Amino acid sequence: MSSEVAGSQMSIGIGLMGLGKVGGRVAKVLQDRSEVIVQQAGCPSILKKVLVHDPAKKRDIDFHLITTRVEDIMGDPEIDIVVEVIGGEHPAWEYIKQAIFRGKHVVTANKEVMAKHGVELLALAREHEVDILYEASVGGGIPLITPLRQDLVANKISTIYAIINGTTNHILTMMSKEGLSFSPALRQAQQLGYAEANPSDDIEGRDAAYKLAILASLAFHTIVRPEDVYCEGIAFLDEHDFRYAKELGYAIKLLAIAKERNDSVEVRVHPVFIPAEFLLAKVDGVYNAVQVEGDLVGKMLFYGEGAGALPTSSAIVADIISLAQKINLKVKGSPWPLSSYCKTITPISEIETRYYIRMSIADHPGVLAQIAKALGDHLISIASVIQKESEVSTQTAEIVIMTYPAKEKAMQQALKEMEKIAVVKEIASFIRVEA
């Protein structure tokens, strides 16, 4: 394992898996910041091998380090820490398991693997007296995992409100500020390199759901799986909704929300109306922000660049240094307790929030009364109504209703009944409101 350098000083061997934008930057930071790393870790961290898919590709790295054989990393006794920056579930998950079985510590930026398999991997690491650090898996360079695990651990955390997907936040910012509809805003994000060619994980909310599962598990000291997270994407949002949001004093954001009430955890990702004066409403473009509320610390906001090679390498190299310090001190395993299922997940039907509904109706006498009755029958109280002048040619009016807090189950039943009212032509939008 760690080798002796210059007499008594150890060196830590690093095996890097993946040499894309993030991997390339990590290799460069390890090289460029070697003095700081020695100073902070107490010994040098030396890049020993780099696993790549295509060895012929021209790269700015010593070609002797490049390999296509996983075994060159797993079987190298001088490699202490495996850094996984391949991304995606396979083969990254299998490689991380192999590294642990071979007694190597792991640093990963992989939200999908940590959200789906983190519990088992952390237990496996414990068994093999190694550790996995994953600060870069959520929010790029924004410190989130360490603060939740360590700095805020004395708190009872009640709520997390998070903008943790830069792609969707950029699209929503363009829809709000430039009045674009969804498709052109997505195309623009792709042209700028913010959205991937296949952006479905981002726009359908899955990327945020993985990250929320990781954050909620740490914040509430329980196990939250990605499938526990109720998830809606942003593709249905319409420019009309952004106009009404502004008129009503709100912003529309894709929020990842986690709350704990009475030992039950609510986890959901969906578009929401939030008051325009909230700090989160002002987080625009590809920036991420996570608001955490703890009983001792109150409300805190973590804000910064949630993706990109530089910020992600900041978190990864910090994790490497942290592991190098432990190796140097001969500390084995991890000080943090393993998670267990101790809290239930609140079904979406049981949540309580406010709602925004936009619908097209036939502009006839008594229509509003029928809609109000459908809501009232389910104990849903209307907070405000907007109705614009109707389209004379089609005799159709658009109305917008904001409700007071109501149970989701009651709201879904009321929506079904409203859809059956003959004069309701379309329920065009239904968006939850957090205030």
Minimum distance of ligand HSE from residue 165's CB (angstroms): 4
Is 179:238 a contact under the CB 8 Å cutoff?
A: no
Q: How many of the chain's residues bind ligand HSE (CB under 6 A)?
A: 7
Q: Of residues 183-212, which lie at the interface with ligand HSE (CB under 6 A)? A: 202, 207
Looking at the Cβ atoms of 11 and 167, the one nearer to ligand HSE is 167
Cα–chain center distance at 364:
45
Q: Is 408 in the site for ligand HSE (CB under 6 A)?
A: no
Looking at the Cβ atoms of 24 and 306, the one nearer to ligand HSE is 306
Stretch that binds ligand HSE, among 47-55, 163-171, 212-220, 247-255 (CB under 6 A): 163-171
Looking at the Cβ atoms of 312 and 403, the one nearer to ligand HSE is 312
Token pair listed for 410: 């009651």
Q: Which of 211, 253, 259, 343 is catalytic?
A: 211
Looking at the Cβ atoms of 210 and 244, the one nearer to ligand HSE is 210
Is 366:254 a contact under the CB 8 Å cutoff?
A: no
Minimum distance of ligand HSE from residue 307's CB (angstroms): 4
Minimum distance of ligand HSE from residue 310's CB (angstroms): 13
How far is residue 114's CA from residue 69's CA, in Å, rounded to a whole number? 24
Taken in order 202, 360, 424, 352, the sign of the CA dihedral is positive
Among 307, 371, 375, 406, binds ligand HSE (CB under 6 A): 307
Looking at the Cβ atoms of 207 and 266, the one nearer to ligand HSE is 207
Among 18, 141, 166, 233, binds ligand HSE (CB under 6 A): 166
Angle (CA) 17 129 23, round 5°: 15
Q: Is 99 in the site for ligand HSE (CB under 6 A)?
A: no
**Residue 67: burial class (beta carbons within 10 Å; 0-12, 13-18, 19+):** middle
How far is residue 134's CA from residue 110's CA, in Å, rounded to a whole number? 7
Among 11, 45, 108, 167, binds ligand HSE (CB under 6 A): 167
Map residue 237 onto helix, strand or coil.
Answer: coil
User: What mask of x and - would describe binding to ligand HSE in positions 111 to 150, judged by CB under 6 A?
Assistant: ----------------------------------------
Q: Is 211 a catalytic residue?
A: yes
Stretch that binds ligand HSE, among 1-9, 162-170, 276-284, 313-321 (CB under 6 A): 162-170
- Peptide bond between residue 91 and the one before it cis (omega within 30 degrees of 0): yes
How far is residue 337's CA from residue 271's CA, in Å, rounded to a whole number? 34
Looking at the Cβ atoms of 208 and 361, the one nearer to ligand HSE is 208
Kindly report the backbone phi and psi dihedral angles of residue 143, in degrees, each rounded to the nearest multiple of 5, phi listed first: -65, 120
Sequential DSSP letters for 346-387: PPGGG-EEEEEEEEEEE--TTHHHHHHHHHHTTTPPEEEEEE
Looking at the Cβ atoms of 84 and 408, the one nearer to ligand HSE is 84
Sequential DSSP letters for 268-329: EEEEEEEETTSGGGG--TTEEEEEEEETTTEEEEEEEE-SSHHHHHHHHHHHHHHHHHHHHT
Q: Is 84 in the site for ligand HSE (CB under 6 A)?
A: no
Minimum distance of ligand HSE from residue 384's CB (angstroms): 33
List C-alpha distances in Å: 413 to 66, 362, 376, 378, 379: 59, 22, 11, 8, 11
Minimum distance of ligand HSE from residue 146's CB (angstroms): 18
Q: Is 18 in the site for ligand HSE (CB under 6 A)?
A: no
How far is residue 282's CA from residue 11's CA, in Å, rounded to a whole number? 45
List C-alpha distances in Å: 78 to 49, 186, 393: 10, 46, 77
Minimum distance of ligand HSE from residue 409's CB (angstroms): 32
Q: Is 306 in the site for ligand HSE (CB under 6 A)?
A: yes
Looking at the Cβ atoms of 207 and 232, the one nearer to ligand HSE is 207
Minimum distance of ligand HSE from residue 167's CB (angstroms): 3
Token pair listed for 435: 């205030």
Minimum distance of ligand HSE from residue 141's CB (angstroms): 12
Active site residues: 211
Point out which residues bind ligand HSE (CB under 6 A). 165-167, 202, 207, 306-307
